[in-house]
Amino acid sequence: MKKERVKLTGAEKSELFAEGVVTVILLLLLNLSIIILIHLAVLQDQNLVNGIYFLKSTVTLVGNYHLWSWQRIFIICMAIGDLIVLYWRLIRRYHQMQLRHVISELHYIADGHFDHRISFAVRTDLQRVIDSINSLVDSTVNSINEEKAIEQSKDELITNVSHDIRTPLTSIIGYLGLLKTGYVTPEDQQKYINIAYTKAEQMKSLANDLLEYTTLKSNNTKLNLSDLHIYSMLEQVEAGFELEAEKKGIHFKIEARPKDLTIKADAEKLVRVYNNLINNAFKYGTGATEIKLVANLINKKTVELRVENNGAPIPEKSLKKIFERFYRVETSRNTKTGGTGLGLSITKGVVDLHHGTIRCTSDKDWTSFIIRLPLDPSQA
């Protein structure tokens, strides 16, 4: 921010000028009275006159020239004293004016102009007060904006959830309505029941995801850390998908380096992360033939966990957004895969709780979700 000096108004300049004039007059009167008093004192006291004369003669040079004269010295001293008093009075008044300007700026900000900052540069301690006021306003504005963002994201959440609930609910009501009429062939009856059931399942998974997401986001979620042997965990996770993998002709590959790699993590939540990522690979990796689950110790404190699948890639422009809640790649919205757009937000939430990071890369060969976790989150 560009700082400028306090600009005095015309009235203030006149006020300062008047103050100067009054001070000069008062000082002149004071000087005059001092001179008169001294003069009277000298006239009345012969000893003082003798003393002065003696001092004068001791410093008299050749040709009767005085090196210094009492009167001259006295007048110079008084003039210097006057200047100091004048300067002090004017500068004091000037500082008062600066303070007045700062106060009026404060009132302006307090009136709701929160984008305004006090831009004066002053040379006194007032500058520290100005800087503190500016940073106070900054932090207040930040808190207000954060509050607004939270409010807005809550509104978005409600809108998205209402929309995602309404869509399947409308079909459920529609199909149940048809069934209620009784004029449906047994064949259609079965079809409608199946559709209504699938839609109800979709709503259930939305409710579950939402509950999990909000629980993760609430600050009081604690991790239940225990020693976790990564390779064994990956084998167990893979076992859960064996049937589906066989059906789709997908082959799993598991690697852990070192093989006995063990980390401290919340096993239940980490398994949920793997389930999310593998489910996504099945759902969206169209044409995939292989899913790789790889774990590597990359340094003394960090482990890298990868879930990779071949098949259809994620478009470049979506890569940055896929961890946002409710975000779904355009092509996935139209497919019958279901999904709420919350899976990857939940995954990221779990990784964040472990003080880790997650990112995604995708090209025509591989889509990789790369997670980095500290070996011991309680010390991260």
- 237, 279 Cβ separation under 8 angstroms: no
Cβ atoms within 10 Å, residue 127 = 14
Q: What is the smallest separation between the CB atom of 360 and ligand ADP, expressed in angstroms?
A: 8
Q: Dig out the tokens for 51 from the structure.
A: 């003393």
Q: Tell me the number of residues near ligand ADP by CB under 6 A.
A: 20
**What is the separation of C-alpha 312 from the centre of its chain, rounded to a whole number of angstroms?**
36
Tokens for 74, please give them. 């006295």
Contact of 184 with 190, CB cutoff 8 Å: no
Q: Is 371 among the residues that bind ligand ADP (CB under 6 A)?
A: no
Residue choice 137, 245, 339, 356 for contact with ligand ADP (CB under 6 A): 339
Find the length of the chain: 380
Residues 6+ apart with CB under 8 A from 205: 338, 340
For 67, residues 6+ apart whose C-beta sits below 8 A from its C-beta are 59, 60, 61
The CA distance from 89 to 363, in Å, is: 75
Binding to ligand ADP by residue 281, rule CB under 6 A? Answer: yes
Q: What's the closest the beta carbon of residue 145 comes to ligand ADP, in angstroms? A: 27
Stretch binding ligand ADP (CB under 6 A), from 108-116, 164-172, 246-254, 321-329? 321-329
Piece of the chain touching ligand ADP by CB under 6 A; list 33-41, 47-55, 275-283, 289-297:
275-283
Pairing outcome for strands 357-362 and 367-374? antiparallel
Residue 234 CB, nearest approach to ligand ADP (Å): 17
- Within residues 341-360, the interface with ligand ADP by CB under 6 A covers 341-345
Q: How far is the CB of 352 from ligand ADP (least distance, A)?
A: 15
Among 168, 285, 349, 356, interactor with ligand ADP by CB under 6 A: 285
Q: Which member of 23, 98, 202, 280 binds ligand ADP (CB under 6 A)?
A: 280
Out of 172, 322, 351, 358, point to the residue binding ligand ADP (CB under 6 A): 322
User: What is the C-alpha radius of gyration for the chain, rounded to an integer number of angstroms?
Assistant: 42
Of residues 288 through 317, those in contact with ligand ADP by CB under 6 A are: 309, 314
Binding residues for ligand ADP (CB under 6 A): 276, 280-281, 284-285, 309, 314, 322, 327-329, 332, 339-345, 367
